[in-house]
Structure 1
């Protein structure tokens, strides 16, 4: 691994410059990099080394040919250039002065008051404390069933509306379940609670991933892996690794994506409870990773294996509840997306269109993603009217879902319309985009 250059502090005059403050606020990194070069003498090649970016990528940003939107990249810029987190809309960075060391003005001394005795210590307002009040008995089977039912409901609501508003409730329930683990008496109950906690951690990671908050997503996915490992639930570990592989493709780290899905396949093959449905899904994620690497032969091979495994599914297979989303329409649409990633639009378009005709309409986010991919492949085929129609359908679904990942895809499609900006259908889509997803 390349050793990064040693970060150095930016001059105070730059960090207090109104132009720099505004550029950071709107995350205009072209301006940020130019100001850093002009006022701090840090040239693009050094910016690249400090922020773990390629020099060509930094050059494209400065030239206005590329935007930096991924949270992990923004965090690397904050850490590499020593830009305080709050200037970029981030949490306080680890290298910043600890809050405990900030000097604050002391309150004037108050006259001492007689202590008031209180028979009860009141709980804090946080969710864990409130839930702890009601958890006076050891958890039983009904507790486990209620928790599992909650997870199913969370996933339905996440599909329909996005996970941003759900996250506080999911995190609170995750901490509540982790708190129940020491109280569980039987081995079966402990096993069940670990499984519930692992699912809640994965769901939390997923909501962060969908919001493009990749560092937080990775932390929760890792917690989910650790919880599943406690009970040696290797199929679920494979499922989490598959999520992390998908995230790596979004972070433009295809080699990491392939390594993670290969680890998922190893976990699935070495554990009890792996089913053809799970192995089919993992092969499709492998196809995504190969497609991101541009490997046509390997992508086609993984797609064939995904279909072969899917044909082996038997109604008697003990698929876990978290696996049932991977049905035949999902297999078909993912096949189309993998071909689309390779640029094989003629193969991809009919597959995605067929899957959309067959899939459930209650999954608003999934349908919006698939409509985006249909639009993208149709645009590659020169079908401008159909592409804009499909993209508008994606916008209609996206307007009901809080998903920064989806919004990013739709803005990406708009950028691909550059050659057609004056066409009436492109202008109509632009107007609809600005209405549905204001910047």
Structure 2
């Protein structure tokens, strides 16, 4: 058997590429291997090592001389290349399960590691587990405060730089917190730990969503719902369902988006003490879903309800921390985006411009998203120079953020410039786009 190599995650743009999706659905591994080579830089010899195949067998597949049909081979390819199981008609793979909840992982022969000097070597995970067991004093209220503080720091860093680099730390902390749930402790501590775990799972799902890795995102969002359900936190369940609604709009599934946000609103209405800010945010998500369905009347009604609820917000409202981002600039920009999704560019432009002016400098991803939407509405209004200038400003913010979702938006804007490709402003934007997002 070939010496194993370390699996690595395929680029999000490849996993969402229609050609890759089609090739996986029909199990055309000649095309799959060619696409992996072209877009991920994984050459046939590495494919062979990752999937426990011989190089000659991989070569025969690529040349069309052999088809791979045995289920164990298909599973090895899914695991070796990190192709989500559903793409190949398989059950969810063990590595797709949230790391905190995975019981076992597929064992692989381990290559001998060169010895490291004692001064630089790190202890193995089993050593950490033993030491944690012997020194554990049990979580306390200060533990919960520290965990929540970490989450708030993750939120800030996600806004500034995107979530991809955060994901290992978030997943590691999720694993740690879920481990604590099995220990005996007071009701209030256990309730708090479930809440922390639910937010860590939601945040992990969000980082996958932002990378356009939709299957993995759905896995973590679903786990977050289950954790929140354990403590009957219906407001937080509404928050997760709102995230799933937004993802559905990105997947061009507006009916699903409306179903998710309707369920979110039902959960919030039956929750004890749902605040106007939460209800306003959910109404705006509803507006997005109706706009994606092309329903102006329903969209405008949802927008009005979002503003009505926002006007009811009081200084002493017990808002959960996770909804604090939904401030007045966010309400304004989302209103503009909802109008923009309907094609009502004249109504959208001043709203998005005002929100962009008021956006925090530290929220680089938000600034880039809002600048994209402003550029799109300006282009819809025939303001080519302004649109390209605004889109270039979006690239400035996007250059410091790892977000495949954002990159996709800006490439989408470039496609909308097809009729103006020869114009100097469009040429300049294309050059800058290729600098920031090569390939």
C-alpha contact (below 8 Å) 2:359/2:366 kept by paired residues: no
Alpha-carbon distance in 2 for matches of 1:216, 1:9: 21
Equivalent-residue separation in structure 2 for 1:261 and 1:377 (angstroms): 25
Aligned counterparts of 1:297 and 1:131: Cα–Cα separation in 2: 61
Q: Does the residue aligned with 1:392 lie in a helix, a strand or coil?
A: helix
Counterpart of 2:115 in structure 1 is: none
Is 1:350 matched up with 2:343?
A: no
CA distance in 2 between counterparts of 1:226 and 1:130 reads 29
Change (3 A) 1:438 1:290: same
Contact 1:163 1:402 (8 Å CA) reproduced: yes
Aligned partners of 1:308, 1:127: CA distance in 2, in Å? 56
In the TM superposition, what are the counterparts of 1:367-378 in structure 2 within 5 Å?
Answer: 367-378=367-378
**Contact map agreement 1:167 1:204 (CA 8 A) in 2:** yes
Quote the offset at 1:357 in angstroms: 1.1
Q: Are 1:152 and 2:152 matched, yes or no?
A: yes
Partner of 1:341: 341
Q: Does 1:22 align with 2:15?
A: no
RMSD between aligned alpha carbons? 3.3
Say whether 1:312 aligns with 2:324. Answer: no
Match of 1:90 among 83, 100, 108: 83
Instruction: Give the Cα separation in 1 of the matches to 2:352 and 2:94.
Output: 51
Q: Distance in 2 between matches of 1:366 and 1:102?
A: 41
Distance 2:391 2:359 in 1: 17
Aligned residues: 365
Q: Residue 199 of structure 1 corresponds to which residue in structure 2? A: 199
Would you say 1:225 and 2:232 are equivalent positions? no
Contact 1:27 1:88 in 2 (8 A): no
Q: Deviations along 1:1-37, whole A, 9 cap, x unmatched?
A: xxxxxx7665xxx72xxx7733454469xxxxxxx9x
Distance 1:420 1:409 in 2: 18
What are the within-5 Å matches in structure 2 for residues 401-420 of structure 1?
401-420=401-420
Q: Deviations over 1:170-189 (max 9, x none)?
A: 00101101111122521111
* Distance in structure 1 (CA, Å) of the matches to 2:135 and 2:39: 45
TM-score (norm 2): 0.76
1:236 aligns with 2:236: yes
**Is residue 212 from structure 1 mapped to residue 205 from structure 2 by the alignment?**
no
C-alpha deviation, 1:360, in angstroms: 1.1
Instruction: Tell me how far apart the structure 1 counterparts of residues 390 and 268 of structure 2 sit (CA, whole Å).
Output: 37
**Aligned-pair distance for 1:358?**
1.3
User: In 1, distance between residues paired with 2:131 and 2:331?
Assistant: 40
Rounded to whole Å, the distance in 1 between the matches of 2:169 and 2:147 is 12
Q: Deviations over 1:372-411 (max 9, x none)?
A: 0000000000101110111011100011000000000000
Residue 125 of structure 1 and its aligned partner are, at CA, apart by 2.9
CA distance in 2, matches of 1:260, 1:368: 26
The correspondence of residues 129-144 of structure 1 with structure 2, limited to 5 A, is 129=129, 132=132, 136-144=136-144
The alpha-carbon distance between structure 1 residues 152 and 384, as it changes in their structure 2 partners (threshold 3 A), is same
**In structure 1, C-alpha distance between the alignment counterparts of 2:228 and 2:94, rounded to whole Å:** 34
Q: Offset of 1:129 from its aligned partner?
A: 3.5
Paired with 1:368 and 1:411, the residues of 2 have a C-alpha distance of 13
Distance 1:103 1:155, change over 3 A: closer
8 A contact 2:84–2:215 mirrored in 1: no
Partner of 1:327: 327
Q: Do the aligned partners of 2:371 and 2:390 also contact (CA within 8 Å) in 1?
A: yes
SS, match of residue 326 in structure 1: coil
State the match for 2:437 in structure 1. 437
Taking a change above 3 Å as real, the CA distance of residues 164 and 102 of structure 1, as seen in their structure-2 partners, is closer
In the alignment, is residue 386 of structure 1 matched against residue 386 of structure 2? yes
SS at match of 2:125: coil
| Unpaired stretches in structure 2, ≥5 consecutive residues | 1-24, 41-60, 66-73, 96-104, 110-121
Which residue in 2 is equivalent to 1:187? 187
Q: Which residue of 1 aligns with 2:279?
A: 279
Structure 1: state its 5+ residue gaps. 1-6, 29-35, 41-80, 105-121
Post-superposition offset of 1:305: 0.4
Question: CA 1:331–1:269 in structure 2 vs 1: closer, same or farther (change >3 Å)?
Answer: same
Assess, with a 3 A threshold, how the Cα gap between structure 1 residues 395 and 234 changes in structure 2: closer, same or farther.
same
| 1:164 partner SS | coil
